[in-house]
Amino acid sequence: MIHGILKCLKNSKESTLLIIAWATFNIKKYEIPHFYPEYVKKGEDTPLKLIYRKRIQPYKVHAEGVLEWMALDKLPTYAKELLWMLIYRKMKGKRGNTMLFPWEVERLISLIENQNQGKSLAFKDFTIDRSSYEICGGNATLDHNIGDAITVAKADMGNTETHFQAYILQNLTLHNNEFFPEVFGKNIVWIGNEVFAGTGMQKIDVMTIEKMDETSNLYRLIELKHPKSTTNVNFAPTQLEYYINWAREDIGGHIIGGKSFNIKPVLVTLTPEFDAIPDNIVSDIDKLSAISTNPEVWEMDFSLNTQKRL
């Protein structure tokens, strides 16, 4: 189960209505995103172009939303309570899905529950009252065509770094991950990709949070490199160092609970042959142990064989 936010935008002189409802998505039932290639322009069954689709099943729905200025612009008591992922998203200015950290979800849910005095809706079907912009009971739930399931074949990994990343994400699972758990974690409780890491729009390729026991987590910051990556492996030590400094809460970073002893930088390279990473790059990443825990360097070939360099 993962948390998410359903959004509805209402532009007016007075305000922008940002968050209408929150839901827990049943990803076991609708696990794979779909592609609807026939739908290339708006007007058929949704008002906007929507070629990538996935069914979601709401767990809890609230009638009233939270104003954008309250969720994003109104300064909280502590800077760490700012919803940085949504702020970065607005700075980028494009449509799409944005993963939220667990503590950001808790903050948003708290704002929405307070707005609704803890009350939620018990209807089977929902609609939006366009005069008040509140969610209310509906007559039916539309059954949209969501197209065909998207899958990335192992042979596609060699196309681009995006394909490599997509193949990894397709195979990672929560709580009992069996896809290279030594690299990505076993008891994973959160997975993110292209995670915004600063106003400069740097992004962490893959990030996982692994629950180690009842009181501690391990945060893996994973940089991917591909034969066709726009930045080659020589930049990896600098990139990982930046991500670590961005993440560590104890030096003003953004990962709540993130410290030098539980933030783990990992470099994973897709390569046609092993020992392709220069020794000086491995050495530079090893030096990151001064500000993080047990950095690792992995090489993976196109047959999914791996070699640990660090």
User: In this predicted model, what pLDDT tens digit does every residue of 100-124 receive, in sequence order?
Assistant: 888 888 888 888 888 899 998 888 8
163 and 141 in a single domain? The answer is: no
Whole-number pLDDT of residue 45: 62
Read off the pLDDT of each residue in 33-47 and give the average, rounded to a whole number: 60
100 and 162 in a single domain? The answer is: no
131 and 91 in a single domain? The answer is: yes
Domain boundary among the residues 148, 163, 190 is at: 148
Exposure string over 137-154, b if 16+ CB within 10 A, otherwise e: eeeeeeeeebbeeeebee
The domain that holds 285 is classified in CATH as: 3.40.91
- CA-CA distance, 135 to 143, in Å (whole number)? 19
Whole-number pLDDT of residue 2: 38
247 and 173 in a single domain? The answer is: yes
The answer on pLDDT for 18 being more than 70 is no
- Domain extent at residue 111: 2-148
Asked whether 191 and 100 are in contact (CB, 8 A), the reply is: no
86 and 129 in a single domain? The answer is: yes
For the chain, the domain total comes to 2
Whole-number pLDDT of residue 4: 40
User: In this predicted model, what pLDDT tens digit does every residue of 152-192 receive, in sequence order?
Assistant: 899 999 999 999 999 999 999 999 999 999 999 999 999 98
Predicted TM-score (pTM) of the model is 0.81
CA nearest 188: which of 30, 2, 22? 2
Asked whether 170 and 33 are in contact (CB, 8 A), the reply is: no
Task: Please give the backbone phi and psi of residue 109, each rounded to the nearest 5 degrees, phi first.
Answer: -60, -40
The answer on pLDDT for 307 being more than 60 is yes
